[in-house]
Amino acid sequence: MTITITAFERSPDGGKGLARDTRVRWALEEAGQAYEVRLVSSLAMKEPAHLRLHPFGQIPTYEEGDLALFETGAIVFHIAERHAGLLPDDANARARAVTWIFAALNTVEPPILELVTVRFLEGDKPWSKERLPLVVDRIRGRLGQLSAYLGDADWLDGGFSAGDLIMVSVLLRLRPSGILDEFPSLAAYVARGEARPAYQRAFAAQLAINASKPTAG
Amino acid sequence: MTITITAFERSPDGGKGLARDTRVRWALEEAGQAYEVRLVSSLAMKEPAHLRLHPFGQIPTYEEGDLALFETGAIVFHIAERHAGLLPDDANARARAVTWIFAALNTVEPPILELVTVRFLEGDKPWSKERLPLVVDRIRGRLGQLSAYLGDADWLDGGFSAGDLIMVSVLLRLRPSGILDEFPSLAAYVARGEARPAYQRAFAAQLAINASKPTAG
């Protein structure tokens, strides 16, 4: 059955790979699954046809035969559960890998997304400049804990898993800020993720769509 | 094998059921699984013994024989995967229920947790009062989308699932603010969750620990 995902017609990051379809593309590449992409404009994302697929009007979505899913974490888990390469066979190791998917999305990413709030959504507010260091300190707190846990291991729990795929994707957001480079072992961890051929293919595929577009405005 | 979870020795909410161990207790009650609770002080949570179980120094954790897990979403999913009552049998319906676990934790809860940031963590900052309405409007946006999706259904996708368990738990945080009551169908949805005998038992168990404690300070 054909797998179809959705992606931004024009990604807000202009092809830096931070839009969440890149995470799903990466998982599909690791799993060796071909897929098609339907591009959605920011207007179409809020219209009934797309809201039937994604109640919160976002991308990516995932369609395969009768099945329609949304939420990047759920889609990546679904791919990982059904194909080899993203979850270990041992039941306990598998449960721990799933734990890291949740930890990346629920514990590490939320403070990182606050950077977008303070800099862009509230970038014109009088408190933006004074609030930024508080947000950055919360991110540093989380990265310090993650770095202490990772130690000198290559991946979070044994071999590369869907948990690493999501964690690397989450940490990638931090590179432009310079915060990631304050934690050399995490910067190296992210670089290991980016070096994987499956990531390279996923990145190139999203770039091919976005590089050809004139930027908005 | 005995299941042991961790909970706050003294919950910051004084027993209102908002600490995340309540979500795990609820899942275990729905699944008919007995469990033991180890209470952890806020100091002990940051010490090596607990950090080995939970790299981010939080509760709850889950131990069962050789397996140790953290992250509420992962623990609830683990319980749901291994016992009847929290996930449908049909593979596609199961994947959709998992989607709602992720949606509750990654799309609906983050703006709700910002209420804690603006009111408490940054409650003494000069911008707190002016920032609050922005945070509340983002919550209203998400609840509006969720309410439109739920319509007049009892649960998010067919029968009650782990997705509903997490979504109800996330929305419960909003009751004191009055925002939940602006969306009557969501308030009724939360009330349906709270009326479940398994929730009642979970709530009573966490209250029994916290009600007997003098408040800090």
User: Backbone dihedral region of A40: left (phi > 0), alpha (psi from -120 to 50 degrees) or beta?
Assistant: beta
Q: Which residues of A touch B75 (CB under 8 A)?
A: 99
- How distant is the Cα of B41 from the closest Cα of chain A, in angstroms? 19
β-partners of residue B69 are: B62
Note the helical H segments in chain B: 21-30, 48-53, 72-82, 91-103, 109-116, 128-150, 162-172, 184-194, 197-210
What pLDDT does A217 receive? 41
Instruction: Give pLDDT tens digits for B23-45.
Output: 999 999 999 999 999 999 999 99
Give yes or no for A99 touching B (CB within 8 A). Answer: yes
pLDDT at B213 > cutoff 80: no
**Interval A167-176 mean pLDDT:** 96
* SS3 assignment, position B108: helix
Nearest residue in chain B measured CA to CA from A128:
B127
pLDDT at A216 > cutoff 80: no
Task: Quote the mean pLDDT of chain A.
Answer: 95
Beta carbons within 8 Å of B124's beta carbon, 6+ residues apart: none
Q: Which residue has the tokens 């080899």?
A: A84
Percent pLDDT > 70 in chain B is 97
Residue in A106, A113, A148 closest to B71 by CB: A106
Compute CA A113 distance to the chain's CA centroid, rounded to the nearest angstrom: 12
pLDDT at A73 > cutoff 50: yes
pLDDT at A52 > cutoff 80: yes
B174, B52, B167: which is closest to B113 by C-alpha?
A: B174
Instruction: Give pLDDT tens digits for B178-212.
Output: 999 999 999 999 999 999 999 999 999 999 998 86
A6, A41, A5, A23: which is closest to A199 by C-alpha?
A: A23
Q: Which residue has the tokens 């432009």?
A: A176
> Peptide bond before A60: cis, by omega within 30 degrees of 0?
yes
Residue in A106, A122, A145 closest to B105 by CB: A106
What radius of gyration do chain A's Cα atoms show? 17
Q: Tokens representing A207? A: 């770039």
Instruction: Give pLDDT tens digits for B80-135.
Output: 999 999 999 999 999 999 999 999 999 999 999 999 999 999 999 999 999 999 99
What does the DSSP 8-state code read for residue B64?
E
What pLDDT does B211 receive? 82
pLDDT band of B217, cuts 50, 70, 90: very low
Distance between CA atoms of residues B50 and B5, nearest Å = 12
Query: Are the C-beta atoms of A171 and A186 separated by less than 8 Å?
Result: yes
Distance between CA atoms of residues A154 and B7, nearest Å = 31
**Interval B56-78 mean pLDDT:** 98
User: What domains can you pick out in chain B, each with its CATH number?
Assistant: 3-85+198-210 (3.40.30.10), 91-196 (1.20.1050.10)
pLDDT at B215 > cutoff 60: no
pLDDT at A213 > cutoff 90: no
End-to-end CA distance of chain B: 39
**Interval B129-151 mean pLDDT:** 97
**Interval A79-89 mean pLDDT:** 97
User: Backbone dihedral region of A160: left (phi > 0), alpha (psi from -120 to 50 degrees) or beta?
Assistant: beta
**Interval A9-30 mean pLDDT:** 95
Query: Are the C-beta atoms of B31 and B202 separated by less than 8 Å?
Result: no
**Interval A144-171 mean pLDDT:** 98
